[in-house]
Amino acid sequence: MSDVYAQPTTGVDATDVRALASYTTLRMGGSAGRIVPGNSAEEIVRAVREAGIRDEPVLVLAGGSNVVIGDAGFPGTVVLVRSRGLKVVAEDADTVTVRVEAGEPWDELVATTVTNGWSGLECLSGVPGSTGATPIQNVGAYGQEVAETITGVEVYDRVEGVAGRIDAADCGFAYRSSIFKYSDRWLVLSVDFRLARSPLSGPVRYAELARALGVEVGDRVPLADARATVLRLRAGKGMVLDAADPDTRSVGSFFTNPVLDRTAYELFRERAADLAEAPSWPCPGDMVKLSAAWLIDKAGFGKGYPGPGGVAISSKHTLALTNRSGRASAADLVALAREIRDGVHSRFGVTLHPEPVLINCTI
């Protein structure tokens, strides 16, 4: 398999054909030692195996929408996940199960399910990236999570050297997490989703979405209406990729919403007693989830807050950190993330954790 290099985008050093910024929505990241495409599951596995034989570190990169790559880049082989395809593997009167290749663009998949009258992913419209990344992060938005529809994940086990299937019950799905997130043992090759045959969405759970649709929480709406409204809401927050909008040069939400036990939550309430009641949601195990966006804003980091080198908080949403100039470094972004994390902890005693995968950088 020969190496392949994409044409660098604006703001990327065109003399560096291995610039990883070309493959990320942040448009940041140094160079790779080697870049290899994987246009099928077999090619992806082969590339990973061959790098292992050469004793090279391997980075598997798909849509690049949830990763921050350091300025030093990645010294080994970067395998680009470019596999495509969807097929029905099971169906009955009420449901259909589809198997989707890891490199299939996520929003194209969601559009297909809506067109076909398959309900279950419509509120995840506009999320950038690839299908194979969704179980890793347990992607969720507007009241839906992929864990609700995933029945299994086909993986390549890099420890055992074999391919196999992991059932959803064994994927360790939790809030923005899974067994895949903190381990490079399993390489996602395809994902199975069981969806309802219905022209209507699942029950609308998210209050903001319900208001925008003009319905009550718990109501169902036509799939196309749910998708169009989610896309409009996301675009208003700079969360739909748009080359003309510098706010979309980001990884979406940079920090996860913190989940606190009752003791930590009561301590937080004491620190925030001078403010209006903070948004919160009950979670299993007597835990409470807070809004990271609210914490960031109330700690003094509002929309558009600037950082070094042309990075800034999005002008539309406090959870997104953006490469507004198109020329900022990963070090600049990390510096802003640290400032925000430390500022929120100092004000509220709550520690924010990054949502994207960090490669050769850390906050």
Instruction: Give the catalytic positions in this structure.
Output: 176, 253, 355
Alpha-carbon span 342 to 310, nearest angstrom:
20
Cβ(99)–Cβ(190) under 8 Å? yes
Nearest to 206 by CA among 154, 147, 141, 260: 141
Long-range CB pairs of 143-148, under 8 A, 24+ apart, other chains included: 143/204, 143/205, 143/206, 143/209, 144/120, 144/202, 144/205, 145/173, 146/121, 146/191, 146/193, 147/171, 147/173, 147/178, 148/120
**Neighbouring C-beta atoms of residue 362, cutoff 10 Å:** 11
Q: What CA–CA distance (Å, rounded) separates 155 from 114?
A: 27
DSSP 85: -
Q: Side chain identity at 243, as an amino acid letter?
A: A
Tell me how many degrees the CA angle 181-155-189 measures, rounded to the nearest 5: 95
Cβ contacts of 284 within 8 Å, gap of 6 or more:
none
d(CA 47, CA 283): 41
13 with 19: CB under 8 angstroms?
yes
Task: Extract the tokens encoding 222.
Answer: 């036509």
Instruction: Name the one residue in this structure whose structure tokens are 């880049």.
Output: 73
Taking Cα atoms as reference points, which of 229, 148, 183 lies closest to residue 60? 183
